[in-house]
Amino acid sequence: MNLILLFNEDFIEPNGRVRLTGRRLKHVREVLRVSVNDELCVGLVNGNIGVGRVTALDDSVLEMDVRLEQAPPLPLTVTLILALPRPKVLRRVLRSAAVLGVKRIMLLNCFRVEKSFWQSPFLEQEAINEQLALGLEQARDTVLPAVTLCRQFKPFVEDMLPGLIQNTIPLVAHPAAEAPCPRALGGAATLIIGPEGGFIPYEIEKLRACGCALVSLGERILNVETAVPALLSRLF
């Protein structure tokens, strides 16, 4: 945790005094091992970053006076559209997307997404936000990505995707594509990543018909967790 993410409900005084318990208190005591008067990097969710000076600390509570004067880092100009992966993978991908600065994530159904994945408790907003918060704390960011669930492939591609890709470079990551994935785009992108078994030909054709280019990272088939950071690093 390189930044302690604060929420409005943590503030006990309007002049910037916060009180922490639970996971963040445990981390500060056991990992950061701070004492009274030490300073910590903090940030208000969807707000500024700054410094918190510890004013009280014991087994059950930590209090800090915080100053939040610095803007969070710039986001990546990408919409990440991800065929819904299995829950365990989803948690890790959400976290790493948040670490890398993705601010819009769309989880998409398609033929090779197992139906049971949509029943996962990890798709509840609270569970999603928990992973995103861990990513923000790692990266020293505060801006929570927006995550949208798109449970139907065809209406998504026909009705939503054309609007989403406007003014962006729309790319489908596809191992079999002939075109190499571009490097350092210098502009906004929409990046679509397939499921574990890959998109079926019908889906590839629908995405292509919508204007998306198919691009590859080469002959090695990466798992989704590896493909997401590899593609984002290459594009940005």
From 108, 173, 232, 235, residue interacting with ligand SAM (rule: CB under 6 A): 173
From 24, 104, 174, 206, residue interacting with ligand SAM (rule: CB under 6 A): 174
> 42: part of which helix (H) or strand (E)?
strand 39-44
Nearer to ligand SAM, 13 or 196 (CB): 196
Q: 103, 79 in Cβ contact below 8 A? A: no
Angstrom CA distances, 153 to 82, 94, 111, 157, stand at 11, 20, 8, 6
Sign of CA dihedral 138, 140, 142, 145: negative
> 11: part of which helix (H) or strand (E)?
strand 11-13
Nearer to ligand SAM, 5 or 217 (CB): 217
From 175, 188, 208, 234, residue interacting with ligand SAM (rule: CB under 6 A): 175
Nearer to ligand SAM, 110 or 133 (CB): 110
CB of 223 to ligand SAM, least distance (A): 5
From 193, 207, 212, 235, residue interacting with ligand SAM (rule: CB under 6 A): 193
Nearer to ligand SAM, 197 or 211 (CB): 197
- Asked whether position 222 contacts ligand SAM by CB under 6 A, the answer is yes
From 6, 28, 106, 227, residue interacting with ligand SAM (rule: CB under 6 A): 227
Residue (of 161, 165, 167, 189) closest to 77 by Cα position: 189
Which region among 31-39, 44-52, 103-111, 212-220 touches ligand SAM (by CB under 6 A)? 212-220
From 44, 134, 194, 206, residue interacting with ligand SAM (rule: CB under 6 A): 194
Sheet holding 146-150, edge to edge: 146-150, 104-108, 78-83, 189-193, 169-173, 213-215
Residue located via tokens 């002939």: 178
Nearer to ligand SAM, 107 or 133 (CB): 107
The stretches of the chain forming alpha helices (DSSP H) are: 22-27, 87-100, 125-139, 153-155, 161-164, 201-209, 224-235
3-state secondary structure of 236: coil
- Encoding tokens for residue 193? 């990543």
- Asked whether position 223 contacts ligand SAM by CB under 6 A, the answer is yes
- With contacts defined by CB under 6 A, how many residues of the chain interact with ligand SAM? 19
Nearer to ligand SAM, 3 or 189 (CB): 189
Instruction: Please give the residue ranges that form the binding site for ligand SAM (CB under 6 A).
Output: 173-176, 193-194, 196-199, 216-218, 220-224, 227
